[in-house]
Chains A and B, each alone.
Chain A
């Protein structure tokens, strides 16, 4: 069940949103764009743990402070996982406790198998964390739509049987479709949480 973290002492509700996807698909670029466009009063510092080649080693992270609801401060913690295959352990620990996931697809045809492999890794890690994949809001973001050639929208959903999953097109380097993706997954997450907590 979706369960954000409630801190009664600090009167805070924290949700964890994770950007997942193959190496170099644009997860960190998404995060940095979001951080860039948000105003200073709603965002915290970005924490990045990169290798010398600027590949995510552990995770990237920053908090968004949305405001207060019924005395509770609402916070979204935005994380990216490392995409490279060797960092499976890091991905597992970031996925643990995720309230929503943005799966970033690299639209280049040459990366199709990497996308499939990454999706499989996501499903495995959710299972290892005892999370039912059907209970976590997931949005598919086809990134790098400014590049040619690119795979058709629908390629991933058809191959993986993801009927009805929300899909966005983006170019994270240009900042197109990035905020829309986060907004959609945020709303899905809140709706899921609210339904689970209906009085």
Chain B
């Protein structure tokens, strides 16, 4: 239920910002939620790359005497991205087409950050899996994929 709430908030943000795609990505490069148009996106790849890019930027921040940069903007010919740090573990990525809406994107993102952070915090309670059962199935999958390669 809490995950649905997070997805709903993200969907609303995506609409309010008139964005193409909005994603929540962990600093380890995993996508938590992605909403909007995903048809053109390689989600695992962009999650890994954005996390890497953001971490590199944090290193740049450190080198110039900042604790961190909380917002990253990338402007392109047809698409633009806005990344904002939510806490030290997740980032909000907004992909939008019209550069003229940059101000709107920033405003909507800033306004929604706290709300999304709260919704996200509820989803972090991990379900325990049955360790023995998981191990048995996972090793069987590993065998089937890697054997005789």
Contacts and interface: CB of A to CB of B under 8 A. Distances in A.
Interface of A: 3, 5-10, 13-14, 16, 37-38, 42, 44-45, 47, 49, 58-59, 61, 63-64, 66-67, 69-70, 72, 74-75, 77, 79, 89-90, 93-94, 96-97, 179, 182-183, 186-187, 190-191, 193-199
A72 B45 contact: no
Interface of B: 3, 6-7, 26-33, 42, 44-45, 48-49, 51-52, 55-56, 59, 123, 126-135, 137-139, 141-142, 144-146, 149
Contacts of B130: 70, 197, 199
Tell me whether chain A's interface is mostly helix, strand or loop, or mixed.
mixed
Contact of A8 (B26, B28, B123): B123
A47 B145 contact: no
A30 B59 CA distance: 28
A9 B7 contact: yes
Contact of B55 (A5, A93, A198): A93
Contacts of A190: 134-135, 138-139, 142
B48 A77 contact: yes
A168 to B, nearest CB: 13
Looking at chain B's contact residues, is the secondary structure mostly helix, strand, loop, or mixed? helix
Contacts of B48: 47, 59, 61, 77, 79
Given A89-B59, A93-B55, A199 B29 contact: no
B134 to A, nearest CB: 6
Given A59-B52, A194-B131, A7 B31 contact: yes
Given A5-B26, A8-B3, A199-B130, A63 B135 contact: no
Given A9-B33, A179-B149, A191-B135, A66 B141 contact: yes
Contact of A179 (B59, B133, B146): B146
B44 A77 contact: yes
A44 B28 contact: no
A79 B52 CA distance: 11
Contact of A197 (B42, B134, B141): B134
A198 B139 contact: no
A8 B30 CA distance: 12
Given A96-B27, A194-B134, A199-B128, A61 B45 contact: yes
B34 to A, nearest CB: 8
